[in-house]
Structure 1
Amino acid sequence: MELDHIVHFVQKNPKETVTDWQMQGLPASFGGQHINWGTQNVLLYLKNCYIEWLSVEKQEIATEAEHPLTRLLLHDQIGFGTICVRTQNIVELNKDLRERGNETTGILDAERRTADGELIKWKMLFIKESVSAKLPMPFFIEWQETDEQRYKKLRDKGIVQAANEVLTIDRCVFGVWNPSEVENTWREILGGSLKLTNCRIEFRKTTETQERLEEVYFMNGTNKLEFEQGLYWLPPLSLGGR
Protein backbone atom coordinates (compact mmCIF):
# COMPACT_ATOMS: atom_id res chain seq x y z
CA MET A 1 0.00 0.00 0.00
CA GLU A 2 1.03 3.60 -0.50
CA LEU A 3 0.64 6.80 1.50
CA ASP A 4 -1.66 9.15 -0.38
CA HIS A 5 -1.71 12.08 2.02
CA ILE A 6 -1.33 13.33 5.57
CA VAL A 7 -4.26 15.25 7.05
CA HIS A 8 -3.41 18.20 9.30
CA PHE A 9 -6.26 20.25 10.81
CA VAL A 10 -5.60 23.99 10.93
CA GLN A 11 -7.37 27.11 12.10
CA LYS A 12 -5.48 29.52 9.87
CA ASN A 13 -7.20 30.61 6.69
CA PRO A 14 -5.85 29.15 3.41
CA LYS A 15 -4.01 32.31 2.37
CA GLU A 16 -2.06 32.34 5.65
CA THR A 17 -1.23 28.65 5.36
CA VAL A 18 -0.02 29.01 1.77
CA THR A 19 2.13 32.02 2.70
CA ASP A 20 3.63 30.30 5.75
CA TRP A 21 4.74 27.28 3.75
CA GLN A 22 5.95 29.21 0.76
CA MET A 23 8.15 31.17 3.17
CA GLN A 24 9.77 27.84 4.03
CA GLY A 25 10.57 27.37 0.35
CA LEU A 26 7.82 24.80 -0.10
CA PRO A 27 5.32 25.48 -2.94
CA ALA A 28 1.99 24.89 -1.20
CA SER A 29 -1.18 26.02 -2.98
CA PHE A 30 -4.88 26.40 -2.34
CA GLY A 31 -6.59 23.09 -3.02
CA GLY A 32 -10.27 23.97 -3.06
CA GLN A 33 -13.57 23.57 -1.31
CA HIS A 34 -15.50 20.50 -0.19
CA ILE A 35 -18.92 22.03 -0.77
CA ASN A 36 -20.91 19.26 0.90
CA TRP A 37 -18.69 19.14 4.01
CA GLY A 38 -18.16 22.85 4.65
CA THR A 39 -14.38 22.48 4.52
CA GLN A 40 -11.47 23.77 2.46
CA ASN A 41 -7.83 22.84 2.10
CA VAL A 42 -4.31 23.81 1.19
CA LEU A 43 -2.12 21.16 -0.44
CA LEU A 44 1.61 20.54 -0.72
CA TYR A 45 2.28 17.94 -3.38
CA LEU A 46 5.40 15.82 -3.00
CA LYS A 47 6.88 13.25 -5.37
CA ASN A 48 4.33 10.54 -4.63
CA CYS A 49 1.97 11.86 -1.94
CA TYR A 50 0.88 15.17 -0.43
CA ILE A 51 0.11 17.03 2.77
CA GLU A 52 -3.39 18.43 3.27
CA TRP A 53 -4.04 21.32 5.65
CA LEU A 54 -7.77 21.09 6.24
CA SER A 55 -9.94 23.80 7.79
CA VAL A 56 -13.59 24.63 8.29
CA GLU A 57 -14.97 27.07 5.73
CA LYS A 58 -18.67 27.02 6.63
CA GLN A 59 -19.36 25.94 10.19
CA GLU A 60 -23.08 25.37 9.65
CA ILE A 61 -22.47 22.91 6.82
CA ALA A 62 -19.59 21.16 8.60
CA THR A 63 -21.70 20.67 11.73
CA GLU A 64 -24.42 18.92 9.73
CA ALA A 65 -22.08 16.87 7.54
CA GLU A 66 -22.20 13.14 8.22
CA HIS A 67 -18.63 12.54 7.19
CA PRO A 68 -15.94 10.82 9.29
CA LEU A 69 -13.14 13.25 8.47
CA THR A 70 -15.29 16.33 9.08
CA ARG A 71 -16.40 14.94 12.44
CA LEU A 72 -12.75 14.34 13.38
CA LEU A 73 -11.87 17.90 12.35
CA LEU A 74 -14.66 19.36 14.49
CA HIS A 75 -13.52 17.22 17.44
CA ASP A 76 -9.79 17.95 17.20
CA GLN A 77 -9.92 21.49 15.78
CA ILE A 78 -6.15 21.70 15.29
CA GLY A 79 -3.16 19.37 14.86
CA PHE A 80 -2.45 16.23 12.88
CA GLY A 81 -5.59 14.21 12.19
CA THR A 82 -4.82 10.97 10.38
CA ILE A 83 -3.31 9.55 7.21
CA CYS A 84 -4.89 8.38 3.97
CA VAL A 85 -3.68 5.33 2.07
CA ARG A 86 -4.06 4.99 -1.69
CA THR A 87 -5.55 1.88 -3.27
CA GLN A 88 -6.15 0.86 -6.86
CA ASN A 89 -9.22 -1.25 -6.04
CA ILE A 90 -11.35 0.19 -3.26
CA VAL A 91 -14.19 -2.26 -3.90
CA GLU A 92 -11.96 -5.25 -3.30
CA LEU A 93 -10.35 -3.56 -0.29
CA ASN A 94 -13.75 -2.91 1.28
CA LYS A 95 -14.68 -6.55 0.78
CA ASP A 96 -11.38 -7.74 2.27
CA LEU A 97 -11.66 -5.50 5.34
CA ARG A 98 -15.19 -6.67 6.02
CA GLU A 99 -14.25 -10.33 5.60
CA ARG A 100 -11.59 -9.81 8.26
CA GLY A 101 -14.18 -8.52 10.71
CA ASN A 102 -13.92 -4.75 10.23
CA GLU A 103 -17.08 -2.69 9.98
CA THR A 104 -16.67 -0.02 7.28
CA THR A 105 -18.60 2.99 6.06
CA GLY A 106 -18.91 1.45 2.65
CA ILE A 107 -17.50 3.30 -0.35
CA LEU A 108 -18.17 7.05 -0.25
CA ASP A 109 -18.18 9.35 -3.27
CA ALA A 110 -16.25 12.59 -2.76
CA GLU A 111 -15.43 15.72 -4.72
CA ARG A 112 -13.62 19.04 -4.46
CA ARG A 113 -14.07 22.25 -6.44
CA THR A 114 -10.72 23.87 -7.25
CA ALA A 115 -10.03 27.60 -7.46
CA ASP A 116 -10.28 27.47 -11.27
CA GLY A 117 -13.61 25.65 -11.16
CA GLU A 118 -12.47 22.11 -11.92
CA LEU A 119 -14.42 19.37 -10.13
CA ILE A 120 -12.11 16.62 -8.88
CA LYS A 121 -13.71 13.33 -7.85
CA TRP A 122 -12.58 10.30 -5.86
CA LYS A 123 -13.85 7.47 -3.67
CA MET A 124 -13.15 7.04 0.04
CA LEU A 125 -13.43 4.23 2.56
CA PHE A 126 -13.33 4.48 6.36
CA ILE A 127 -13.38 1.93 9.13
CA LYS A 128 -16.37 2.74 11.33
CA GLU A 129 -15.35 4.14 14.70
CA SER A 130 -16.39 6.80 17.16
CA VAL A 131 -14.40 10.01 17.30
CA SER A 132 -12.45 10.01 20.54
CA ALA A 133 -9.02 10.50 22.10
CA LYS A 134 -7.98 7.12 20.68
CA LEU A 135 -5.92 7.03 17.50
CA PRO A 136 -8.12 7.20 14.38
CA MET A 137 -7.63 4.42 11.87
CA PRO A 138 -6.14 5.30 8.50
CA PHE A 139 -8.66 5.74 5.73
CA PHE A 140 -8.44 4.83 2.06
CA ILE A 141 -8.81 6.58 -1.27
CA GLU A 142 -9.12 5.65 -4.94
CA TRP A 143 -8.79 8.49 -7.42
CA GLN A 144 -10.91 8.81 -10.53
CA GLU A 145 -7.75 9.29 -12.58
CA THR A 146 -4.39 7.53 -12.54
CA ASP A 147 -1.46 9.09 -10.67
CA GLU A 148 0.13 9.95 -14.03
CA GLN A 149 -2.99 11.74 -15.25
CA ARG A 150 -3.39 13.68 -11.99
CA TYR A 151 0.23 14.82 -11.88
CA LYS A 152 0.23 15.84 -15.55
CA LYS A 153 -2.71 18.16 -14.89
CA LEU A 154 -1.01 19.54 -11.78
CA ARG A 155 2.22 20.19 -13.72
CA ASP A 156 0.31 21.87 -16.53
CA LYS A 157 -1.33 24.19 -13.99
CA GLY A 158 1.99 24.93 -12.27
CA ILE A 159 0.79 23.47 -8.98
CA VAL A 160 3.43 20.75 -9.13
CA GLN A 161 6.87 22.19 -9.86
CA ALA A 162 10.33 20.67 -9.92
CA ALA A 163 10.70 21.61 -6.25
CA ASN A 164 7.68 19.50 -5.34
CA GLU A 165 8.90 16.36 -7.04
CA VAL A 166 12.17 16.06 -5.16
CA LEU A 167 10.33 15.91 -1.80
CA THR A 168 9.35 12.63 -0.17
CA ILE A 169 8.19 11.51 3.26
CA ASP A 170 10.48 9.24 5.25
CA ARG A 171 8.23 8.38 8.19
CA CYS A 172 5.17 9.31 10.22
CA VAL A 173 5.52 8.92 14.00
CA PHE A 174 2.38 8.37 16.07
CA GLY A 175 2.09 8.79 19.82
CA VAL A 176 -0.07 6.05 21.38
CA TRP A 177 -0.69 4.54 24.82
CA ASN A 178 -0.01 0.92 23.87
CA PRO A 179 2.38 0.76 20.87
CA SER A 180 2.44 -3.02 20.47
CA GLU A 181 -1.35 -3.25 20.45
CA VAL A 182 -1.73 -0.45 17.91
CA GLU A 183 1.04 -1.87 15.72
CA ASN A 184 -0.77 -5.20 15.49
CA THR A 185 -4.06 -3.51 14.61
CA TRP A 186 -2.53 -1.33 11.93
CA ARG A 187 -0.55 -4.19 10.41
CA GLU A 188 -3.79 -6.10 10.00
CA ILE A 189 -5.56 -3.10 8.45
CA LEU A 190 -2.64 -2.33 6.11
CA GLY A 191 -2.18 -5.86 4.82
CA GLY A 192 0.60 -7.06 7.10
CA SER A 193 3.24 -4.32 7.10
CA LEU A 194 3.84 -0.88 8.58
CA LYS A 195 6.25 -0.07 5.77
CA LEU A 196 4.27 1.49 2.95
CA THR A 197 5.95 1.77 -0.43
CA ASN A 198 6.63 5.48 0.12
CA CYS A 199 6.58 5.94 3.91
CA ARG A 200 7.32 4.16 7.18
CA ILE A 201 4.83 4.18 10.03
CA GLU A 202 6.17 4.19 13.59
CA PHE A 203 4.47 4.14 16.98
CA ARG A 204 5.87 5.30 20.29
CA LYS A 205 4.46 5.51 23.77
CA THR A 206 2.96 8.85 24.75
CA THR A 207 1.67 10.34 27.97
CA GLU A 208 -0.56 12.80 26.12
CA THR A 209 -4.31 12.68 26.73
CA GLN A 210 -4.94 12.00 23.05
CA GLU A 211 -3.36 9.51 20.63
CA ARG A 212 -2.46 11.13 17.32
CA LEU A 213 0.19 11.51 14.66
CA GLU A 214 2.90 13.62 16.31
CA GLU A 215 5.79 14.05 13.88
CA VAL A 216 6.25 13.96 10.11
CA TYR A 217 9.78 13.44 8.82
CA PHE A 218 10.64 14.40 5.26
CA MET A 219 13.47 12.42 3.70
CA ASN A 220 16.71 13.96 5.03
CA GLY A 221 14.62 16.05 7.38
CA THR A 222 16.87 17.87 9.86
CA ASN A 223 15.14 21.24 10.27
CA LYS A 224 12.40 21.33 12.89
CA LEU A 225 9.23 23.29 12.16
CA GLU A 226 6.23 23.52 14.47
CA PHE A 227 3.05 24.47 12.65
CA GLU A 228 -0.50 24.53 14.03
CA GLN A 229 0.40 22.01 16.76
CA GLY A 230 2.10 19.65 14.34
CA LEU A 231 5.83 18.93 14.17
CA TYR A 232 7.63 18.61 10.83
CA TRP A 233 11.24 17.77 10.10
CA LEU A 234 12.08 19.46 6.81
CA PRO A 235 15.00 18.90 4.44
CA PRO A 236 17.64 21.65 4.22
CA LEU A 237 16.61 22.62 0.70
CA SER A 238 13.28 23.95 1.97
CA LEU A 239 15.08 26.78 3.74
CA GLY A 240 15.98 28.32 0.42
CA GLY A 241 12.71 30.25 0.42
CA ARG A 242 13.53 32.28 3.51
Structure 2
Amino acid sequence: MAQQFTWDHTVDFVDDLKQAEQAFADQGLTASYGGKHVGHGTENSLAYFGDNYLEFLTLYSRKEALAETPQRGQIFHDAGELLPEFEGFYRPALHVHGIEAAAERLRSKGVELGEIVPGNRTTANGEEIRWQLLWLLGDDHGLRYPFVIDWDADEATQLERYENSGLLHRHPLGEVSTRRAIFEVPDPAGISAHWADLFDLERTHGTDDNGREYYDLAVGGGRDWRFVKGDYNGITELQYTVPAGKSFDVTIGKARYRSVTD
Protein backbone atom coordinates (compact mmCIF):
# COMPACT_ATOMS: atom_id res chain seq x y z
CA MET A 1 0.00 0.00 0.00
CA ALA A 2 1.37 3.41 -0.98
CA GLN A 3 2.23 5.89 1.73
CA GLN A 4 -0.47 8.58 2.05
CA PHE A 5 0.80 12.17 2.07
CA THR A 6 -1.60 15.00 2.96
CA TRP A 7 -1.07 18.76 3.23
CA ASP A 8 -0.47 19.60 6.88
CA HIS A 9 0.68 23.23 7.00
CA THR A 10 2.64 25.94 5.23
CA VAL A 11 5.60 27.97 6.51
CA ASP A 12 5.83 31.68 5.74
CA PHE A 13 9.08 33.50 6.65
CA VAL A 14 8.33 36.98 8.04
CA ASP A 15 10.47 39.74 9.53
CA ASP A 16 8.04 40.65 12.33
CA LEU A 17 5.47 38.31 13.90
CA LYS A 18 3.41 41.13 15.39
CA GLN A 19 3.12 42.89 12.05
CA ALA A 20 2.03 39.64 10.37
CA GLU A 21 -0.55 38.99 13.10
CA GLN A 22 -1.88 42.55 12.71
CA ALA A 23 -2.09 42.24 8.92
CA PHE A 24 -4.31 39.18 9.44
CA ALA A 25 -6.34 40.85 12.19
CA ASP A 26 -7.09 43.79 9.89
CA GLN A 27 -8.76 41.31 7.50
CA GLY A 28 -10.75 39.40 10.15
CA LEU A 29 -8.25 36.54 10.55
CA THR A 30 -6.60 35.30 13.75
CA ALA A 31 -2.94 34.36 14.07
CA SER A 32 -1.56 33.95 17.59
CA TYR A 33 1.93 33.59 19.03
CA GLY A 34 3.04 29.96 19.18
CA GLY A 35 6.40 30.16 20.94
CA LYS A 36 10.15 29.87 20.52
CA HIS A 37 12.01 26.91 19.06
CA VAL A 38 14.46 27.14 21.93
CA GLY A 39 18.03 26.54 20.85
CA HIS A 40 17.12 26.70 17.16
CA GLY A 41 16.92 30.48 16.77
CA THR A 42 13.33 30.87 15.53
CA GLU A 43 9.86 31.60 16.89
CA ASN A 44 6.41 31.44 15.34
CA SER A 45 2.80 32.51 15.22
CA LEU A 46 0.07 30.14 14.05
CA ALA A 47 -3.25 30.48 12.22
CA TYR A 48 -5.53 27.43 12.09
CA PHE A 49 -7.92 26.64 9.25
CA GLY A 50 -9.47 23.34 10.28
CA ASP A 51 -6.85 20.60 10.14
CA ASN A 52 -4.58 22.71 7.90
CA TYR A 53 -2.64 25.60 9.37
CA LEU A 54 -0.23 28.41 8.64
CA GLU A 55 3.05 29.04 10.45
CA PHE A 56 4.58 32.51 10.42
CA LEU A 57 8.26 31.99 11.27
CA THR A 58 10.90 34.56 12.18
CA LEU A 59 14.34 34.72 13.79
CA TYR A 60 15.19 35.53 17.38
CA SER A 61 18.84 34.40 17.02
CA ARG A 62 20.54 34.17 13.65
CA LYS A 63 23.59 32.58 15.32
CA GLU A 64 21.51 29.71 16.74
CA ALA A 65 19.67 29.21 13.45
CA LEU A 66 22.84 29.07 11.35
CA ALA A 67 24.36 26.54 13.76
CA GLU A 68 21.74 24.03 12.58
CA THR A 69 22.60 21.63 9.76
CA PRO A 70 20.30 21.10 6.76
CA GLN A 71 20.23 17.37 7.61
CA ARG A 72 18.65 17.96 11.04
CA GLY A 73 17.32 21.51 11.06
CA GLN A 74 16.89 22.67 7.49
CA ILE A 75 14.11 25.16 8.26
CA PHE A 76 16.13 26.88 11.00
CA HIS A 77 19.31 27.04 8.93
CA ASP A 78 17.43 28.44 5.94
CA ALA A 79 15.71 31.05 8.11
CA GLY A 80 19.13 32.19 9.28
CA GLU A 81 20.33 32.50 5.70
CA LEU A 82 17.22 34.02 4.11
CA LEU A 83 15.81 36.44 6.72
CA PRO A 84 15.33 39.36 6.77
CA GLU A 85 15.95 39.84 3.02
CA PHE A 86 13.45 37.14 1.98
CA GLU A 87 9.94 37.52 3.36
CA GLY A 88 7.54 35.05 1.75
CA PHE A 89 6.35 31.45 1.59
CA TYR A 90 9.12 29.03 2.48
CA ARG A 91 7.70 25.55 1.85
CA PRO A 92 4.71 23.35 2.77
CA ALA A 93 4.65 20.29 5.02
CA LEU A 94 3.10 16.95 4.15
CA HIS A 95 1.69 14.78 6.92
CA VAL A 96 2.15 11.00 7.00
CA HIS A 97 1.46 8.10 9.33
CA GLY A 98 4.71 6.13 9.43
CA ILE A 99 7.58 8.41 8.59
CA GLU A 100 10.09 5.57 8.22
CA ALA A 101 8.02 4.03 5.40
CA ALA A 102 7.71 7.48 3.83
CA ALA A 103 11.48 7.88 3.92
CA GLU A 104 11.95 4.50 2.23
CA ARG A 105 9.54 5.49 -0.54
CA LEU A 106 11.32 8.79 -1.17
CA ARG A 107 14.76 7.16 -1.16
CA SER A 108 13.50 4.65 -3.72
CA LYS A 109 12.60 7.62 -5.93
CA GLY A 110 16.14 8.95 -5.74
CA VAL A 111 15.56 11.88 -3.38
CA GLU A 112 18.36 12.84 -0.97
CA LEU A 113 17.05 12.92 2.59
CA GLY A 114 18.17 14.33 5.91
CA GLU A 115 17.74 12.52 9.21
CA ILE A 116 14.39 11.71 10.81
CA VAL A 117 14.40 14.19 13.68
CA PRO A 118 12.15 13.88 16.77
CA GLY A 119 10.53 16.92 18.34
CA ASN A 120 8.23 17.63 21.26
CA ARG A 121 6.64 20.41 23.26
CA THR A 122 4.32 20.65 26.24
CA THR A 123 1.05 22.53 25.79
CA ALA A 124 -0.41 25.01 28.24
CA ASN A 125 -2.66 22.27 29.66
CA GLY A 126 0.32 19.98 30.26
CA GLU A 127 -0.08 17.63 27.30
CA GLU A 128 3.17 16.52 25.69
CA ILE A 129 2.96 16.53 21.91
CA ARG A 130 5.54 14.57 19.96
CA TRP A 131 6.35 14.57 16.25
CA GLN A 132 9.02 13.55 13.78
CA LEU A 133 10.36 15.59 10.86
CA LEU A 134 12.03 14.55 7.62
CA TRP A 135 13.81 17.00 5.33
CA LEU A 136 14.06 16.49 1.58
CA LEU A 137 17.43 17.97 0.67
CA GLY A 138 18.21 19.81 -2.52
CA ASP A 139 15.45 21.07 -4.80
CA ASP A 140 13.47 20.28 -7.94
CA HIS A 141 14.86 22.59 -10.64
CA GLY A 142 15.19 25.32 -8.04
CA LEU A 143 11.82 24.67 -6.37
CA ARG A 144 12.04 23.75 -2.68
CA TYR A 145 10.61 20.34 -1.87
CA PRO A 146 7.97 19.99 0.88
CA PHE A 147 9.10 18.55 4.19
CA VAL A 148 7.41 15.62 5.90
CA ILE A 149 5.93 15.49 9.41
CA ASP A 150 4.49 12.60 11.43
CA TRP A 151 2.45 13.75 14.44
CA ASP A 152 2.28 10.26 15.97
CA ALA A 153 -1.51 10.65 16.19
CA ASP A 154 -4.57 9.88 14.09
CA GLU A 155 -6.60 12.67 12.48
CA ALA A 156 -9.24 12.75 15.24
CA THR A 157 -6.60 13.12 17.97
CA GLN A 158 -4.76 15.79 16.03
CA LEU A 159 -7.94 17.79 15.41
CA GLU A 160 -8.76 17.54 19.12
CA ARG A 161 -5.33 19.01 19.88
CA TYR A 162 -6.08 21.92 17.57
CA GLU A 163 -9.46 22.38 19.29
CA ASN A 164 -7.77 22.39 22.69
CA SER A 165 -5.36 25.06 21.49
CA GLY A 166 -8.31 27.47 21.45
CA LEU A 167 -7.41 28.78 17.99
CA LEU A 168 -9.90 26.86 15.87
CA HIS A 169 -13.07 28.66 14.73
CA ARG A 170 -11.77 31.94 16.16
CA HIS A 171 -11.54 34.04 13.02
CA PRO A 172 -13.81 37.10 13.33
CA LEU A 173 -14.53 36.62 9.61
CA GLY A 174 -16.16 33.27 10.40
CA GLU A 175 -15.33 29.73 9.31
CA VAL A 176 -12.30 29.91 6.99
CA SER A 177 -10.88 26.81 5.27
CA THR A 178 -7.70 26.31 3.25
CA ARG A 179 -8.50 25.57 -0.39
CA ARG A 180 -5.37 25.82 -2.53
CA ALA A 181 -1.72 26.80 -2.86
CA ILE A 182 -0.53 28.40 -6.09
CA PHE A 183 2.97 27.42 -7.24
CA GLU A 184 4.45 29.51 -10.05
CA VAL A 185 7.10 27.37 -11.75
CA PRO A 186 8.91 27.34 -15.10
CA ASP A 187 7.66 23.84 -16.02
CA PRO A 188 4.24 23.14 -14.45
CA ALA A 189 3.70 19.90 -16.37
CA GLY A 190 7.08 18.40 -15.51
CA ILE A 191 7.31 19.45 -11.88
CA SER A 192 3.72 18.49 -11.03
CA ALA A 193 4.26 15.08 -12.66
CA HIS A 194 7.43 14.54 -10.61
CA TRP A 195 5.73 15.51 -7.33
CA ALA A 196 2.68 13.38 -8.17
CA ASP A 197 5.01 10.42 -8.58
CA LEU A 198 7.11 11.19 -5.47
CA PHE A 199 4.16 11.57 -3.12
CA ASP A 200 1.59 9.37 -4.91
CA LEU A 201 -0.83 12.26 -5.48
CA GLU A 202 -3.68 12.41 -7.98
CA ARG A 203 -2.91 14.89 -10.78
CA THR A 204 -5.40 16.71 -13.00
CA HIS A 205 -5.02 19.24 -15.81
CA GLY A 206 -7.19 22.21 -16.71
CA THR A 207 -7.53 25.87 -17.67
CA ASP A 208 -8.67 28.59 -15.26
CA ASP A 209 -11.14 31.43 -15.93
CA ASN A 210 -8.33 33.60 -17.26
CA GLY A 211 -7.28 30.98 -19.79
CA ARG A 212 -4.18 29.99 -17.83
CA GLU A 213 -3.22 26.32 -17.99
CA TYR A 214 -2.70 24.55 -14.67
CA TYR A 215 -1.91 21.17 -13.14
CA ASP A 216 -3.51 20.31 -9.78
CA LEU A 217 -2.29 17.81 -7.20
CA ALA A 218 -4.91 16.56 -4.71
CA VAL A 219 -3.32 16.85 -1.25
CA GLY A 220 -6.21 15.70 0.95
CA GLY A 221 -9.22 17.34 2.56
CA GLY A 222 -10.56 18.68 -0.73
CA ARG A 223 -7.44 20.85 -1.11
CA ASP A 224 -4.98 21.07 -3.97
CA TRP A 225 -1.64 22.41 -5.00
CA ARG A 226 -1.96 24.22 -8.32
CA PHE A 227 1.08 24.56 -10.60
CA VAL A 228 1.03 27.37 -13.17
CA LYS A 229 3.70 28.78 -15.44
CA GLY A 230 5.79 31.61 -14.01
CA ASP A 231 9.30 32.67 -13.13
CA TYR A 232 8.92 32.86 -9.32
CA ASN A 233 9.58 29.13 -8.70
CA GLY A 234 7.70 28.84 -5.42
CA ILE A 235 4.38 29.39 -3.69
CA THR A 236 3.00 32.85 -4.44
CA GLU A 237 -0.49 32.54 -2.95
CA LEU A 238 -2.68 30.62 -0.53
CA GLN A 239 -6.42 30.59 -1.23
CA TYR A 240 -9.26 30.04 1.23
CA THR A 241 -13.02 29.53 1.31
CA VAL A 242 -15.03 31.88 3.54
CA PRO A 243 -18.67 32.38 4.59
CA ALA A 244 -21.04 33.83 1.99
CA GLY A 245 -20.66 37.58 1.65
CA LYS A 246 -17.21 37.63 3.27
CA SER A 247 -13.82 38.09 1.64
CA PHE A 248 -10.21 38.99 2.33
CA ASP A 249 -7.02 39.74 0.41
CA VAL A 250 -3.78 40.42 2.26
CA THR A 251 -0.14 40.48 1.13
CA ILE A 252 2.83 40.13 3.50
CA GLY A 253 6.15 40.44 1.72
CA LYS A 254 5.93 38.14 -1.30
CA ALA A 255 3.10 36.04 0.20
CA ARG A 256 -0.50 36.67 -0.78
CA TYR A 257 -3.53 35.30 1.08
CA ARG A 258 -6.99 35.66 -0.39
CA SER A 259 -10.48 34.20 -0.40
CA VAL A 260 -11.94 32.44 -3.45
CA THR A 261 -15.39 31.21 -4.44
CA ASP A 262 -14.45 27.82 -5.94
| Residue 112 of structure 2 corresponds to residue 103 of structure 1 | yes
Cα deviations across residues 78-106 of structure 1 (Å, max 9, x unaligned)? 10111001111111111111122222113
Q: Which amino acid aligns with 1:186?
A: W
Structure 1 residues 61, 196: CA separation in 2 closer, same or farther (over 3 Å shift)? same
Out of 51, 59, 64, the residue aligned to residue 61 of structure 1 is: 64
Structure 1 residues 156, 222: CA separation in 2 closer, same or farther (over 3 Å shift)? closer
Instruction: State the distance in 2 between where 1:115 and 1:212 align.
Output: 35
TM-score normalised by length of structure 1: 0.84
| Residue 10 of structure 2 corresponds to residue 6 of structure 1 | yes
SS of equivalent to 2:144: coil
Structure 1 residues 21, 224: CA separation in 2 closer, same or farther (over 3 Å shift)? closer
Q: Which amino acid aligns with 2:67?
A: E
Cα deviations across residues 162-193 of structure 1 (Å, max 9, x unaligned)? 54993221111111122222112211222142
SS of equivalent to 2:113: coil
What is the correspondence of 1:24-43 to structure 2 with a 5 Å cutoff? 24-43=27-46
Instruction: State the distance in 2 between where 1:75 and 1:212 align.
Output: 17
What is the correspondence of 1:10-25 to structure 2 with a 5 Å cutoff? 10-12=14-16, 14-25=17-28
SS of equivalent to 1:110: strand
Report the counterpart of residue 208 of structure 2 in structure 1. Answer: none
| Residue 167 of structure 2 corresponds to residue 159 of structure 1 | yes
SS of equivalent to 2:190: helix
Instruction: State the distance in 1 between where 2:178 and 2:260 align.
Output: 10
Structure with bigger strand share is 2
Q: Percent identity?
A: 24
Q: Which amino acid aligns with 2:220?
A: T
TM-score normalised by length of structure 2: 0.78
Instruction: State the distance in 2 between where 1:19 and 1:115 align.
Output: 23
| Residue 235 of structure 2 corresponds to residue 213 of structure 1 | yes
SS of equivalent to 1:105: strand
| Residue 156 of structure 2 corresponds to residue 148 of structure 1 | yes
Superposition CA RMSD, Å: 2.7
Larger deviation, residues 224-233 vs 18-27 = 18-27
For these two proteins, the number of residue pairs brought into alignment is 232
| Residue 257 of structure 2 corresponds to residue 195 of structure 1 | no
Report deviation, 1:68.
1.2
Instruction: State the distance in 1 between where 2:186 and 2:260 align.
Output: 29
Contact 1:31 1:114 in 2 (8 A): no
Report deviation, 1:149.
2.9
SS of equivalent to 2:9: strand
Unaligned 5+ segments in structure 1 are 237-242
Instruction: State the distance in 2 between where 1:146 and 1:157 align.
Output: 17
Structure 1 residues 207, 154: CA separation in 2 closer, same or farther (over 3 Å shift)? closer
SS of equivalent to 1:126: strand
Report deviation, 1:235.
6.2
Instruction: State the distance in 1 between where 2:82 and 2:124 align.
Output: 26
Structure with bigger helix share is 1
Out of 101, 112, 127, the residue aligned to residue 136 of structure 2 is: 127
Q: Which amino acid aligns with 2:47?
A: L
Unaligned 5+ segments in structure 2 are 203-216
What is the correspondence of 1:220-235 to structure 2 with a 5 Å cutoff? 223-234=248-259
Q: Which amino acid aligns with 1:10?
A: V
